[in-house]
Amino acid sequence: MSKFIALRVLFLLDERSEKLAYRLANEAEKFGKCQFKLDVDHLPHITIYHAEYPVKNLSKIRSSLKNYSNKLHGSKLWSQGLESGWGYVGVNFKKTKDILKIHEDLVKELNLLREGHVREKYHEEIEKGIYSQSEAINIREFGYPYVLDLYRPHMNLVKFENESLGIKAMNKLIKEFRNFEGRIQGLALAEKGEFGSVSKLLDKCIFR
């Protein structure tokens, strides 16, 4: 049994935003075979922080998330258009003060529970020069490249086998897509799924 577990801390979206996400994913799927698509087995979410932790700290992580979520209320969510890259098509969201504060608070608290551990794949990818200097620094300090100044709230809808299909799907969807206002209804904890997907929540904390 592994001594480490890869976990995602997530924002959960309101029902209206989830329905829109499913509809967009279904439309995108028409452009070709998907390796991943939002559906009943792959839940819409926005990643807050993703890292690998010692398994022995799992109960502390769950407790920290629950205690922190009890202090929060629903926050507004504004979309900022679609984007495509590496075969993914997703929705970008505005990095509001509320979203950024929650992100910063949780990174600060949960980073300590990594105990300095970094996923093995990051060591290899840094050696290959895959990451920018800032991303590599974040990996070493926080176990994940896209935190703090580099944090970008987004939700993946689909992932195609090649990038050209993603670009085609995005260009079609973007003609019909309208930026929308939704709400964040809670936080959740999940194990890492394939292609960044989430199939099952370990914990779900709905805001009061």
pLDDT one-digit tens code per residue, 120-170: 999 999 999 999 999 999 999 999 999 999 999 999 999 999 999 999 999
pLDDT one-digit tens code per residue, 67-97: 999 999 889 999 999 999 999 999 999 999 9
Stretch 172-177: mean pLDDT: 88
Q: Which helix (H) or strand (E) holds 140?
A: helix 133-142
Quick check: 175 pLDDT over 90?
A: no
| Lookup result for tokens 């309208």 | 178
| Lookup result for tokens 């920290």 | 64
pLDDT above 70: percentage of residues in the chain: 100
Confidence of residue 192 (pLDDT cuts 50, 70, 90): confident
Quick check: 177 pLDDT over 90?
A: no
Cα separation, 116 vs 202, in Å, equals 23
Nearest alpha-carbon partner for 158 in 146, 167, 149, 150: 167
CB 99 within 8 A of CB 148: no
The domain spans of the chain are 4-206
Quick check: 1 pLDDT over 80?
A: no
Token readout for 149 is 């100044």
Task: Give, as one character, the DSSP assignment of residue 42.
Answer: B
Stretch 188-205: mean pLDDT: 95
Cα separation, 108 vs 143, in Å, equals 12
Q: What is the pTM of this model?
A: 0.95
Quick check: 179 pLDDT over 70?
A: yes
What CATH class does 4-206 carry? alpha beta
What are the φ/ψ torsions at residue 25 (nearest 5 degrees)? Answer: -65, -40
Please give the pLDDT value at position 176: 81
| Residues 88/47/82/159 CA torsion (nearest 10 deg) | 20
Token readout for 58 is 């799992």
